[in-house]
Structure 1
Amino acid sequence: MMAPEQGEIPVVDFSVWSKGSNDDKKRLAQKLTEACRQVGFVYIVNHGVSNDALDEAFGWSERLFDLPEEKKMLAPHPPGHTVHRGYSWPGLEKVSQDIIKDGDEAKEVDNRKIADVKESYEIGSEESETQPNVWLPEDVLPGFREFTVQFYWKCFEAAKELLRALAIGVGLEDEDFFLRFHSGENNQLRLLHYPPVEAEKLSSNTVARMPAHSDWGTITMLFQDGCGGLQVEHPNKPGHFVDATPMKNAMVMNVGDLLMRWSNDFLKSTLHRVTLPPVENKRQIDGRLMTRPRYSIPYFVSPDPKAIIECLSVCTDEKRPVKYEPVVQDDYRRMRGRGQYAEAPAAPIAVS
């Protein structure tokens, strides 16, 4: 289950899920769940999203972020944290693990002192009423909208099988239990670009790529290029991070906060971050050591907005009392997102 060259993160081959026996599926579900229980992160190969689709998705991402700033700004992320869609320019988003409540402006200002040097484009379901998409004009990037909408639903097809496996793995008799809370309408496809940045600024914490944080939803499916820089907190050494070394066409799946709550902490929502890539992915430019650009595509799987998440009875007993009160997905999302986007949008920052 553990690939030595990948450090602490297990590798699970999901090919048996679609063609194996019920016993095969149970064994795979147990293997997946054990990885999520011990580490919270797992590499998944043969996950159901084709290599061709992934190559095309990364191609669209590169074309998108190669556009001039004024073109990308034709689909700006709406002000504030309520709607998480469209283009976020470098310096707009600040990822943090801190919970910032209304009226805590001082904490919010302090939280944003070190800027995140990345840009992203968020896409959701076209049917969502609470999170409407923000699109570029079609003539700016013809075909982009059509492809990403299709890719969004391809990712959800893979996600549904992971949710089924996790249901079996935690001990539920109904493998479709989690699917009753996930229509796919409240997920998020994110195209991420980390421009080249001076390595010394990253190592000295003058700027950040993406600070340590946990994800808010049920699970996250991540596809990354070969640059590296993603790190995961060691399961037995708090504060110590290990590299999530890229594996070509593999998915990195991790547990989100709401699945951890559902499972009463049986499954682990692990801190992770994006920082300096390995030495071979840095280069000298004008006498400065710069990182190479990095592209990644996370797909966040979240319950529907009005879904109520409460600890599963199969994950509670006298030795494991209920740790969390029931929570509504949309309430939790708003609480966690309060500090990520300021009400007054930040101006783009220089990235070199």
Structure 2
Amino acid sequence: MASEIPTINFSQFLYGDPETRLAVSKSIVSAFRTYGFVSLTHHPIPLSELSEAFKWTKRFFDLPPEVKSLAPHPSGFLHHRGYSHPGLEKVSNLTRGADTDDSLSQTREVPDIKESYEIGSEGYPDQPNIWIPPGVLPGFQQFMTKFYWRLAGFSAEIAKSLALGIGLDDENYFEKFFTGHHNQLRLLHYPEVDASILEEGKGVRVSAHRDWGAFTLLFQDDCGGLEVESPTKPGEFLKVEPNQEACLVNIADLMARWSNDYLRSTSHKVGLPPLKDRYTAIGGKRVTRARYSIPYFVTTTPESVIECLQPFTDETRPAKYPPITQWDYSKSKSSMQYS
């Protein structure tokens, strides 16, 4: 079954009059309430720049493992930068304190077959970037730094649309929480893999999970495989058709907590590509296509206290969640992803 995630022309928000901007914002919020996702076309990131970003991504992951490992993800979970080899990270919905170490061990028995490279702001000294040596990929660091801040500007506009769409008086309400310095740009590669490994459940591309920041921007290649949980049938996942001209945006846990679950943080995963182009034949085996994607995780300053906003709580609707800082919530999630 295919998903019915709404597609919205974001240029109407960027360049429209106040009435149009409000209408677009309400449409975006409506999509987030129902699906947790929206597909934005005519966004401010040029398609030529996205194409270049995917070319750099492929160049990086085409490097030999020993070269990619010159920018290693540090051990542990507190410093989330650099290169993670396949199997190092295990994504899930587990949260420290709510789940046991046994749950973590069981979850890690089925590895995520992906590799990633994490990039942040150079202005966040607590999370310094771990760059590949500049002589290996000349221009890589410069492009990705510029691209990071282009996406920060885009995400600031999405935050304005959220403020308008949920009925806050000031469209710049979230500005003090989102400086851009605490976001994360992730380059993702799902390598070709023997199809039987995925079909028999010996490995997955990415397990079902919710993102744990405020919201996420996602750009995909044409491979497909993304699935989101049905809004009406929990546990059933719907396939998302890739659109290289659109940015898929989803609400994450902190924004859901802020809104008392008025906005929906939806589980999603990456499975097999569509049947029509699922496999290639290599050495007599059926092998899944490689897949590339670029998510950009948007979050607040670490000290920001996330507590239910006034429009979403009253005597009949008590807050579902206690206040928590972004940093404390992030630790409770990231500590379950890296052993």
TM over 0.5: yes
Deviations 1:308-335 (A, max 9, x none): 1110001112332211111100000000
Contact 2:97 2:332 in 1 (8 A): yes
The alpha carbon displacement at 1:49 in A equals 0.9
User: Is residue 316 of structure 1 aligned with residue 316 of structure 2?
Assistant: no
Deviations 1:170-206 (A, max 9, x none): 1100101111101001000000000011222112210
Aligned to 1:55: 51
Aligned to 1:75: 71
Aligned match for 1:106, one of 91, 102, 109:
102
Aligned to 1:331: 328
User: Is residue 227 of structure 1 aligned with residue 223 of structure 2?
Assistant: yes
User: Is residue 244 of structure 1 aligned with residue 228 of structure 2?
Assistant: no
Residue 324 of structure 2 aligns with an amino acid whose one-letter code is V
Aligned-partner Cα distance in 1 for 2:101–2:239: 34
After TM superposition, the structure 1 = structure 2 runs for residues 108-257 of structure 1, keeping only pairs within 5 Å, are: 108-257=104-253
Aligned-partner Cα distance in 2 for 1:35–1:117: 30
Q: For 2:281, what is the secondary structure of its paired residue?
A: strand
| Unmatched tracts of structure 1, length 5 or more | 343-352
For this pair of structures, how many residues does the alignment match? Answer: 338
The alpha carbon displacement at 1:102 in A equals 11
User: Is residue 281 of structure 1 aligned with residue 262 of structure 2?
Assistant: no
User: Is residue 86 of structure 1 aligned with residue 65 of structure 2?
Assistant: no
Q: For 1:146, what is the secondary structure of its paired residue?
A: helix
Shifted more, 84-93 versus 107-116: the winner is 107-116
Aligned-partner Cα distance in 2 for 1:180–1:284: 52
User: Is residue 262 of structure 1 aligned with residue 258 of structure 2?
Assistant: yes
The alpha carbon displacement at 1:287 in A equals 2.5
Contact 1:100 1:108 in 2 (8 A): no
Contact 1:100 1:107 in 2 (8 A): no
Computed over aligned residues only, the root mean square deviation of the Cα atoms, in angstroms, reads 1.4
Aligned-partner Cα distance in 2 for 1:320–1:104: 31
Contact 2:260 2:320 in 1 (8 A): yes
The alpha carbon displacement at 1:63 in A equals 0.2
Structure 1 segments (4+ residues) deviating >3 Å: 100-107
The alpha carbon displacement at 1:106 in A equals 3.3
User: Is residue 18 of structure 1 aligned with residue 9 of structure 2?
Assistant: no
The alpha carbon displacement at 1:6 in A equals 6.0
Deviations 1:35-90 (A, max 9, x none): 00010011110111110110010000000000011110000000011011000001
Aligned-partner Cα distance in 2 for 1:191–1:71: 16
The alpha carbon displacement at 1:101 in A equals 4.3
1:323 and 1:70, CA in 2 relative to 1: closer, same or farther beyond 3 A? same
Aligned to 1:291: 288
User: Is residue 303 of structure 1 aligned with residue 325 of structure 2?
Assistant: no
Normalised to the residue count of structure 2, the TM-score between the two structures is: 0.97
- Percent pairwise identity: 47
Aligned-partner Cα distance in 1 for 2:3–2:215: 21
Normalised to the residue count of structure 1, the TM-score between the two structures is: 0.93
Aligned-partner Cα distance in 2 for 1:247–1:102: 36
Residue 112 of structure 2 aligns with an amino acid whose one-letter code is D
| Unmatched tracts of structure 2, length 5 or more | none
The alpha carbon displacement at 1:131 in A equals 1.1
Residue 173 of structure 2 aligns with an amino acid whose one-letter code is F
Contact 1:14 1:46 in 2 (8 A): yes
